[in-house]
Amino acid sequence: MILRRPGAALTEEQLPRPAVAPGDVLLQVLACGVCRTDLHILDGELDRPTLPLVLGHEIIGRVLEVGREVTGLAVGDRVGVPWLGGTCGECQWCRSGRENLCDRATFTGYTRDGGYAELAVARAAFCFPIPKDYADAEAAPLLCAGLIGYRAYTLAGDARRLGLYGFGAAAHLLAQLARSEGHEVYAFVRPGDEAGRRFAVELGAAWAGDSDQLPPEPLDAAIIFAPVGALVPAALRAVTKTGTVVCAGIHMSDIPAFPYKLLWEERQVRSVANLTRADGQAWFRAIARHRVHSRPQRYPLAQANQALADLRAGKVTGAAVLIPGQGG
């Protein structure tokens, strides 16, 4: 499925078999998650995508071919491909363990082709082994919704009461881990989203309400997954003194002006930028200790446009996942 220009629907096209560079692997795509970042690229809110483009950065694939410099992976292995597709390895950010900030990074489904396809190519060094007890569709959301959510979770600090704004793909995974690690989870959904509220309670949220409400108890930290800048002052109102508000999306609408009083008393607002491979390794260790269950809503690959439309409209409970070869 190809994006030719921002704002256009994806088109189904037959492309040549991808070339495999020395450090790459060629994958048969088994499943690919549909992320809100894909919508931001589609809508032109993230500029300079490499067009024409195959979207998709939550890829589960089977190795079909390995480049001549690849070690540690073999034909037949099942791996996951995340948003971070490659880095330079030489700049100050890479050398200091902050490869998520590399100025020459490449990104799956944005500056290099992704997984809305039957075949995909990825840099072997940026692939993750996938635990055997996760089926393909269940594993796909772990590669971004889970991984970026986990990075945001670590930046939120040791919050006993943790608020999650936007209870979608990332929040429904993170809520399970946070509860397993002893945190109270407070879920904020779109006003009037009764199904989302029930879903959050089903997953163990101590409270679930509309995003414009205050929780019954002050929060120690809040993570904003919804790309809505107006939620920043709302979250600041909800956190206690020294509380942290983490903006977890790669794109957000403008944050409106708010009184300094909301930030005072040593509250802080911070953002999450991309991910590192160390984040991925820590995330997979965490879910080995505390298994999380994703709720994949499956779509045939040919229905990628419908999956994106459903995500935009808030009709996806859990995570949308494309399945190549599935009838539709």
Q: Which domains are seen in the chain, by residue range? A: 24-142+295-323 (3.90.180.10), 147-271 (3.40.50.720)
**pLDDT grade for 52, boundaries at 50, 70 and 90:** very high
Sort 83 into a burial class: Cβ within 10 Å, 0-12 / 13-18 / 19+. buried
What does the pLDDT average to over 67-86? 96
Determine the pLDDT at residue 192: 87
Q: Under a CB-based contact definition with an 8 Å cutoff, are residues 240 and 266 in contact?
A: no
**pLDDT grade for 97, boundaries at 50, 70 and 90:** very high
**pLDDT grade for 310, boundaries at 50, 70 and 90:** very high
For 161-206, what is each residue's pLDDT tens digit?
999 999 988 999 999 999 999 999 999 999 988 989 999 999 999 9
Question: Is the confidence at residue 328, as pLDDT, over 50?
Answer: no
Closest by CA position to 57, among listed 73, 76, 77, 41 = 41
Closest by CA position to 311, among listed 39, 53, 31 = 39
Distances (CA, A) of 317 to 150, 170, 265: 19, 11, 37
Determine the pLDDT at residue 326: 67
Question: Is the confidence at residue 314, as pLDDT, over 50?
Answer: yes
Whose tokens are 């919050």? That residue is: 159
Determine the pLDDT at residue 47: 86
Integer Cα distance of 292 and 228 in angstroms = 26
Q: Under a CB-based contact definition with an 8 Å cutoff, are residues 210 and 190 in contact?
A: yes
Q: Choose the weakest-confidence range: 236-245, 252-261, 303-312, 317-326.
A: 317-326
**pLDDT grade for 10, boundaries at 50, 70 and 90:** very high
pTM (2 d.p.): 0.92
For 252-306, what is each residue's pLDDT tens digit?
999 999 999 999 999 999 999 999 999 999 999 999 999 999 999 999 999 999 9
Residue 70: half-sphere exposure toward Cβ, Cα within 13 Å? 25
Average pLDDT score over the chain = 95
Residue ranges with strand state E in 230-308 = 239-247, 268-271, 296-300
Report, in this order, helix, strand and coil percent for the chain, each rounded to 5: 30, 25, 45
Question: Is the confidence at residue 101, as pLDDT, over 80?
Answer: yes
Closest by CA position to 267, among listed 239, 233, 296 = 239
